[in-house]
A and B are shown apart, each in its own frame.
Chain A
Amino acid sequence: MLNQLTIAELSSKLNSGTVSSREAAQACLDQIERVDGRLNAFISHDPADLLAQADAADRFRQEQGGNQGRPLLGIPIAVKDVIAVRGHPLNCGSKILGSYVSPYDATVIEKLRSAGALLFGRVNMDEFAMGSSTENSAFGVSRNPWDLDRTPGGSSGGSAVAVAADECLAGLGSDTGGSVRQPAAFCGCVGLKPSYGRVSRYGLVAYASSLDQIGPLTKSVRDAALMLEVISGADSKDSTCVPREVPKFTEGLNGSIRGMRLGVPREYMVGGLDPQVADAVRAALSELEKQGAEITEISLPHTEYAVATYYIVATAEASANLARFDGIRYGLRVDGADPAELYSRTRGAGFGTEVKRRVILGTYVLSSGYYDAYYLRAQKVRTLIRKDFAEAFERVDAIVTPTTPTAAFRIGEKSDDPLQMYLSDIYTLSCNLAGICGVSVPCGFTTNPRLPIGLQLLGKPFGEETLLRIANAYEQATGWHAAKPELS
């Protein structure tokens, strides 16, 4: 089945002319038809549009006699509902955007189009990327393909489900505190959070601008490297996007990891960590050691302050970013006697519970009299967290941790307890606060029930080459990524 292939596998078949993009696109559509009623990965998709893009890709290949250096020519890629695709709906998993249609392409979408990708669907997410379970969506919960009673994680849950259930070849997500890596871990796929500034945020609806990055969810590390190669690079429309040369991430992938120094933070392997997850991570460390890596214990002493710091910084930035959803220029409007009443009613009716909670919390920590106690203090602790990583990276080339303390939790298990939900992000948040890069790769399964476990690798700022090489070495030796959920 073509929809089950990796990008690299499908590309090689397309290049040899044995299959067409139309057949691949049709295989994805058939799979959506077969399983998405149960999974709810897609908020919407337009089969006719996808097939038209596939036909255009097939024509291009035929007329040009090849892909003409377009590495993603004819590859169906699903897009998280927070990234603008011209002419497609954009809702951010929220009611407040109404029948919004994007008037322009995000920079990553332009880049993927230039590389020949077929961009389709709006995949489900926690509203405005706020959440860790995809339960906070105005379009219903998405379900984990390994166990339909469990969440796929979030906020890029729809992307992870669509990839894990072979409804697409790869997906785009966004990661503000783990929103690509955590659902990748829960669903058994690869999820990459690039270094802050590696990928343009133009056309990504902002949640917390100093933390947000767009990242790929894929079926292999090689595919993640390929996607990153395409979407990276400076952008005159995003001043935070760093003008540095983009390495050929796929080229260094097969190098040896002999002599690489890997750090295991002692603060991560402690209370709250499921013993089965801990075992899987230890087994992964043995495998990496077998391949010649040197494992050392390191310390990230401010780890226990990351959750508190994150929920001040992120909510403060969110309260400012989401001010634009006021019922004036786009989306839902609920009328009022004056502008203030119109704003309040529109936002009261349009935002879901978690978004309201975070915007109000963010407003509070920025408000007069509380700014120094909360926001300024959190920014200072953020400095300490960054320093922890900078010091660790003087001693090691990468850091190895679990992606999450447990495998996928049940739908409804944490939805009434926001603090417990926030604490489940403990291993992924620091990466965004420090601006470094991180990737989650499948590293085994729990027993009873059988659920995927994710291994997280954290790398230096702009150290994705090293990170991907280690991830690839691990993946190729173990093959966990190739396991598929049974969806009868």
Chain B
Amino acid sequence: MAAVEIDVEYVAQLARISLSGEEIQKFGAQFSQILGYIDKLRELDVDQVDPTAHADPRVNVMREDVVQSSLSQELALRNAPVKANGLFVVPKIVE
């Protein structure tokens, strides 16, 4: 197994997850172990193999274009952590 170093802090930031220092350290060691194991896949020659995204691929699945009822505004907002005037409240995005 080749040791794989990953920049945990950077990838966690891409994933939008804040981590404690302890987590960063623990995950770092665990990821090297897991990615070291995953390196097994390099043993296989897959140059001529097509990738599988889905076991039972179906394309262009359509239904009739008819108007149907959907979730009401009230139900859609029921679980919102912060709401006002029928809207989700979010932090300021543009200056």
- A interface residue numbers (CB < 8 A to B): 98-101, 103-104, 195-197, 210, 236, 239-240, 242, 302, 304-305, 307-309, 311-312, 319, 323, 326-333, 335-340, 342-345, 347-349, 351, 353, 356-357, 359-364, 367, 374, 376-384, 386, 418-419, 422, 433-436, 461
Are A359 and B63 in contact, CB atoms less than 8 angstroms apart?
no
Name the residue in A101, A347, A351 with the highest tally of chain B Cβ atoms < 10 Å from its Cβ: A347
Closest residue of chain B to A98 (Cβ to Cβ) is: B81
Closest residue of chain A to B34 (Cβ to Cβ) is: A419
Are B78 and A239 in contact, CB atoms less than 8 angstroms apart?
no
Known: A380-B49, A381-B46. A344 touches B18 (CB 8 A): yes
List 23 A-B residue pairs with CB atoms under 8 Å apart, sorted by A's residue number: A197-B56, A239-B61, A304-B40, A305-B44, A319-B15, A327-B81, A329-B79, A332-B81, A333-B81, A344-B13, A351-B17, A360-B12, A361-B34, A362-B15, A364-B11, A377-B41, A377-B46, A379-B52, A381-B41, A381-B46, A382-B51, A419-B37, A436-B55
Are A196 and B16 in contact, CB atoms less than 8 angstroms apart?
no
Query: Interface range on chain B: under 10, 10 to 19, 20 to 34, or 35 or more?
Result: 35 or more
Are B16 and A326 in contact, CB atoms less than 8 angstroms apart?
yes
- Give the CA-CA distance A226 to B78 in the complex, in Å: 35
Q: Point out the residues of chain A lying under 8 angstroms from B3, CB to CB.
A: none
Closest residue of chain B to A374 (Cβ to Cβ) is: B38
- Give the CA-CA distance A461 to B38 in the complex, in Å: 27
Closest residue of chain B to A211 (Cβ to Cβ) is: B55
Closest residue of chain B to A370 (Cβ to Cβ) is: B6
Are A330 and B81 in contact, CB atoms less than 8 angstroms apart?
yes
Name the residue in B44, B46, B49, B91 with the highest tally of chain A Cβ atoms < 10 Å from its Cβ: B91
Closest residue of chain A to B30 (Cβ to Cβ) is: A418
What 0/1 pattern do residues 9 to 53 of B give for CB contact below 8 A with A? 001111111110001000100110110011011101010011111
Are B19 and A356 in contact, CB atoms less than 8 angstroms apart?
yes
- Give the CA-CA distance A130 to B4 in the complex, in Å: 23
Closest residue of chain B to A433 (Cβ to Cβ) is: B55
Q: Point out the residues of chain A lying under 8 angstroms from B16, CB to CB.
A: 323, 326, 340, 343-344, 347
Q: Point out the residues of chain A lying under 8 angstroms from B53, CB to CB.
A: 210, 379
- Cβ of B82 under 8 Å from chain A: yes
- Give the CA-CA distance A363 to B38 in the complex, in Å: 15
Q: Point out the residues of chain B lying under 8 angstroms from A381, CB to CB.
A: 41, 44, 46, 49
Are B41 and A348 in contact, CB atoms less than 8 angstroms apart?
no
Q: Say how far B2's CB is from chain A's closest CB, in angstroms.
A: 12
Closest residue of chain B to A335 (Cβ to Cβ) is: B91
Are A386 and B19 in contact, CB atoms less than 8 angstroms apart?
no
Are B11 and A363 in contact, CB atoms less than 8 angstroms apart?
yes
Q: Point out the residues of chain A lying under 8 angstroms from B23, CB to CB.
A: 353, 356
Are A384 and B46 in contact, CB atoms less than 8 angstroms apart?
yes
Are A330 and B80 in contact, CB atoms less than 8 angstroms apart?
yes
- Give the CA-CA distance A394 to B19 in the complex, in Å: 49
- Give the CA-CA distance A308 to B4 in the complex, in Å: 15
Q: Say how far A109's CB is from chain B's closest CB, in angstroms.
A: 16
Are A348 and B82 in contact, CB atoms less than 8 angstroms apart?
no
- Give the CA-CA distance A311 to B90 in the complex, in Å: 34
Closest residue of chain A to B68 (Cβ to Cβ) is: A236
Are B56 and A305 in contact, CB atoms less than 8 angstroms apart?
no
Q: Say how far B93's CB is from chain A's closest CB, in angstroms.
A: 6
- Give the CA-CA distance A336 to B90 in the complex, in Å: 10
Closest residue of chain B to A103 (Cβ to Cβ) is: B75
Known: A339-B90, A360-B15. A383 touches B55 (CB 8 A): no
- Give the CA-CA distance A41 to B42 in the complex, in Å: 41
Cβ 8 A contact of A305, one of B41, B61, B80: B41
Are A331 and B91 in contact, CB atoms less than 8 angstroms apart?
no
